Structure formats: structure tokens, C-alpha cells
């Protein structure tokens, strides 16, 4: 079976669920771990991801439907959409590989970056830290619909430090113009205190980069 995607933690396989196009996300075995421990970790992370996807949908964020959950896999809706890092966009830090014209969108607009910010704020308000909030984990579908995907590194949290890291991860992935729109979207629904914490995290990171090694 041809893999849709293969990463360090999981693989995506094409699937059918009740006649609907779907994807099976299978957690990759780690041979360096004892089998029983590995199974426990993979099953635990699978359950967490499925739970976060359902919770995100309750928060009003567009995410793939969860069709089924197994020990080390979940079956999710296959979206008719393209990840933002593969679309010709305005961001200067990454370049698109194909046009979104087939989806009725010529490029990623300011409203999409604002929407990405609003979605992240909604996740945070429901106690969800995404863990890898980047253009590669956002998808643009027909009608300009935006989706959030891959909660594999996500976890439940109400710690503003965790939220600040999410915010900074996306901000650092964008051009200044797009980052401004993204942050404005976040501040529309999110807490200003998270933005303030993000600035502290950013300053801390810059200081560590400048600090000479002993």
C-alpha cells in the first residue's frame, strides 16, 4: 500500500471508512524501546491525539473528523485541501510548490493568517497546546476553508508558557507581514498575557543564542 506520508513518528495510509475517503495514521514502532513500553507509549499518544482532535472540533476549529481509534492508529477524514507550506504564498521564509487555484484560491491571503491566529486562540481557550503549529500543519480547502491537522505532538495544558511556544513557533515561520496578521487574529480571541509571555520567550531564546559557550 502506497504511503501518503512517512515521518519519524507516524505514517499515513489511504483508507476507506464506510465508503468515505479516509487516512489511517499509524504510529511507528521504535525498535530501540522494549516492546511492551513502546506499545504503551504509542497507544497512549494515539488516544491523546484522538481526544485532542475531538476537543478541537468542540472548540470551533476545523479539523479532520475522527472515524475510528485503534491501539496504535486513528482513522481520520481525508481532506480535499493543501498544506499551506505547499501553496504559493506571501511568506518569504518558505515558497509554495504548487498553486491553490484548483481550490478557488490564488494565494494565501491576510484573512487566512488571521484565521490561523483565531484558531490557535480557540485551541488555547480549551486547554489544547498544539506542539507544532506551523504552515505545514494547516490546510487550505475549497471556499477558503482553513483546517488544523496533526496533533501528534499536542497535549492538554493551560500553561501560558506552552501557549507562548505555539504562538512563537508559527510567528517564526512567517514573514513579518504575515506574522502581523497571524498575531492580530490571535489577539482578537486570545489573551494578551500569552503574547507578552511569547515576547519573553523570544528574548530568552535570543539571549541564549548570543551567550558564548564556555
CA-nearest of 4, 39, 41 to 25 is 4
Return the closest-CA partner of residue 20 out of 79, 102, 61: 79
The contacts of residue 6 (CB under 8 Å, 6+ apart) are 12
Note whether 76 and 67 are within 8 A (CB): yes
Distant-in-sequence contacts of 27-32, Cβ < 8 A, 24+ apart: 27/72, 27/73
Q: How many alpha carbons lie under 13 Å from residue 13 in its C-beta half-sphere?
A: 13
Catalytic residue among 72, 132, 150, 162: 132
80 is catalytic: no
What CA–CA distance (Å, rounded) separates 175 from 92?
Answer: 5
Active-site positions read 132
Amino acid at each position: 500500500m502506497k504511503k501518503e506520508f512517512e515521518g519519524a513518528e507516524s505514517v499515513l495510509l489511504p483508507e476507506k471508512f464506510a465508503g468515505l475517503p479516509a487516512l489511517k495514521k499509524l504510529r511507528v514502532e521504535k525498535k530501540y524501546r522494549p516492546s511492551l513500553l513502546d506499545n504503551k507509549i504509542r497507544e497512549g499518544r494515539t488516544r491523546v491525539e484522538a481526544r485532542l482532535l475531538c476537543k478541537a472540533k468542540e472548540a470551533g476549529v476545523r479539523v479532520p473528523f475522527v472515524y475510528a481509534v485503534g491501539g496504535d492508529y486513528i482513522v481520520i477524514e481525508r481532506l480535499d485541501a493543501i498544506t499551506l507550506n505547499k501553496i504559493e504564498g506571501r511568506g518569504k521564509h518558505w515558497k509554495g510548490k504548487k498553486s491553490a487555484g484548483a481550490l478557488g484560491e490564488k494565494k494565501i491571503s491576510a484573512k487566512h493568517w488571521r484565521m490561523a491566529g483565531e484558531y490557535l486562540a480557540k485551541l488555547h481557550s480549551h486547554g489544547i497546546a498544539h506542539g507544532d503549529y506551523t504552515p505545514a500543519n494547516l490546510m487550505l480547502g475549497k471556499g477558503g476553508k482553513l483546517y488544523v491537522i496533526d496533533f501528534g505532538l499536542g497535549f492538554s495544558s493551560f500553561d501560558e508558557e506552552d501557549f507562548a511556544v505555539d504562538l512563537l513557533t508559527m510567528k517564526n515561520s512567517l514573514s513579518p507581514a504575515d506574522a502581523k496578521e497571524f498575531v492580530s487574529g490571535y489577539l482578537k480571541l486570545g489573551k494578551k498575557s500569552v503574547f507578552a509571555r511569547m515576547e519573553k520567550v523570544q528574548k530568552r531564546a535570543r539571549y541564549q543564542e548570543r551567550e558564548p559557550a564556555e
